[in-house]
Amino acid sequence: MIAIIILHYGRIEDTEECLKSLSLDLRGRVPVVVVVNDVEVGAVARSCQVYPNAHVVFTGGNLGFAAGNNIGIRHALELGADHVVLLNNDTVVEPGFLEPLRAVFADYPDAGMATGPILYAAPPNAIWSAGGSLGGWTALTHHALLGQPRSMLFREVRETGFVNGCFVMVSRRCIERIGLMDERYF
């Protein structure tokens, strides 16, 4: 089973758009754990009603990216998830977005993480990230295909030096092997 984790902080409108895009594509078939890393709990709880299989978890305040997602990951694993997908709350998914990720894990059962292309909202169809590389002792990142048109996307699965936390699928096996996120990363 796959579970999706959305870390909510700030703009409720973004979280609502994310949930709406998920509900249109998945129709409640995949559990979504909404981690409310904020104090606006009532609005988020009401917004989650648009997604029939939403689980709302409150942190009581802003714990940061890593700690908030770790709460969601733990909850997803308790639900029995074999894979978790981390999505930023300002992400809008396209129909069928999970299928290529499922295919990666089917074709590469030893893979720990997989990602897909991340596009800018504006300008539309411009690539923000398609994986990338880490460089040197400073660990500067280089996003593959940054700013290129969508038509330049790779047609095959490729190994990448990093995946972006705003859209990544991680296997339970990988989490059990390397652990949760380092919570010093706020």
- Consecutive 10-residue runs of the chain (186 residues): their mean pLDDT? 93 90 85 88 76 87 95 97 96 93 94 91 86 78 83 83 89 96 92
In whole angstroms, give the CA distance from residue 54 to residue 57.
10
User: Can you tell me whether residue 14 is helix, strand or coil?
Assistant: helix
pTM, two decimal places: 0.90
Predicted pLDDT of residue 42: 75
In whole angstroms, give the CA distance from residue 112 to residue 48.
29
